[in-house]
Amino acid sequence: MKWTKREKKFHKEMNAITEKYPECVIEAWTPTDFQEVVDNWAEEKEITKQELTEDECLGIANTLNAGFDANQGINWDVLNMAVESNVERYD
């Protein structure tokens, strides 16, 4: 997937922080990752892919932040659940 200009800027800033604080670990999930989940669903259901809206992306990010569990972290399964709870068009 191709990053948006905003995601490129985000990753550039994240890299600068990582270089400044190499002893810290930073993990980031972006709308490109959210879209990948939705695209995979569309392929599985053999339906037309649709771009996520900004509101859906914000909802997914809020769900991930609100439900963060350091014992589990955020992985593709957790991401799938967050997307599922915010995107209804593939039900």
pLDDT in tens, 39-78: 998 898 888 889 999 999 999 999 999 988 888 899 999 9
Distance CA 60, CA 19 (A): 28
Residue 75: its pLDDT value, please? 93
pTM (2 d.p.): 0.83
Q: State the pLDDT at residue 47.
A: 85
**C-alpha to C-alpha distance for 68 and 85, rounded to whole angstroms:** 15
Q: Please give the pLDDT value at position 4.
A: 86
Helices assigned H by DSSP within 1-91: 5-20, 31-45, 54-66, 76-86
């990948």: which residue's tokens? 36
pLDDT, tens digit, 9 for 90 and up, residues 10-38: 999 999 999 999 999 888 999 999 999 99
- Banded model confidence at residue 86, pLDDT cuts 50, 70, 90: very high
Residues 6+ apart with CB under 8 A from 82: 60, 63, 64, 67
